[in-house]
Amino acid sequence: QSALTQPPSASGSPGQSVTISCTGTSSDVGGYNYVSWYQQHPGKAPKLMIFQVSKRPSGVPDRFSGSKSGNTASLTVSGLQAEDEADYYCSSFAGSRNWVFGGGTKLTVL
């Protein structure tokens, strides 16, 4: 049950695109198409942005997209906006109905 690996920080200017990676193992990210991504603003509860690698819940802008290759999943935010500045966490199913999160990435909009 080791945490998934995310870069501690990422940044981009308004209108640009930024990609955040999430690296696990064949026992979690690589073994299942059950990766999800969460956005968390300071002092707030997390919000689901992507589920099952690339699906967006209703209401999430299509500027947010997800993908996976091998043991690494990625979240791409296109057309960066000021309100996208937040912490982002990935999560993966890890078998036996267990879940594991990444350490989080602080996204700064310059």
Q: How many Cβ atoms are within 10 Å of 35's Cβ, its own excluded?
A: 28
Return the HEC string of 64-83. Answer: EEEEEECCEEEEEECCCCHH
Stretch that binds other proteins, among 14-22, 28-36, 63-71, 75-83 (CB under 8 A): 28-36
Q: Does 89 bind other proteins (CB under 8 A)?
A: yes
User: Taking Cα atoms as reference points, which of 50, 57, 53, 43 lies closest to residue 87?
Assistant: 43
Q: How many Cβ atoms are within 10 Å of 70's Cβ, its own excluded?
A: 10
Figure out which of the listed residues 11, 16, 26, 98 binds other proteins, where binding follows CB under 8 A: 98
Figure out which of the listed residues 48, 79, 83, 108 binds other proteins, where binding follows CB under 8 A: 48
CB of 97 to other proteins, least distance (A): 5
Q: Does 41 bind other proteins (CB under 8 A)?
A: no
CB 105 within 8 A of CB 20: yes
Q: With contacts defined by CB under 8 A, how many residues of the chain interact with other proteins?
A: 26
Q: Which residues bind other proteins (CB under 8 A)?
A: 1, 3, 32, 34, 36, 38, 40, 45-48, 51-52, 57, 89, 91, 93, 96-104
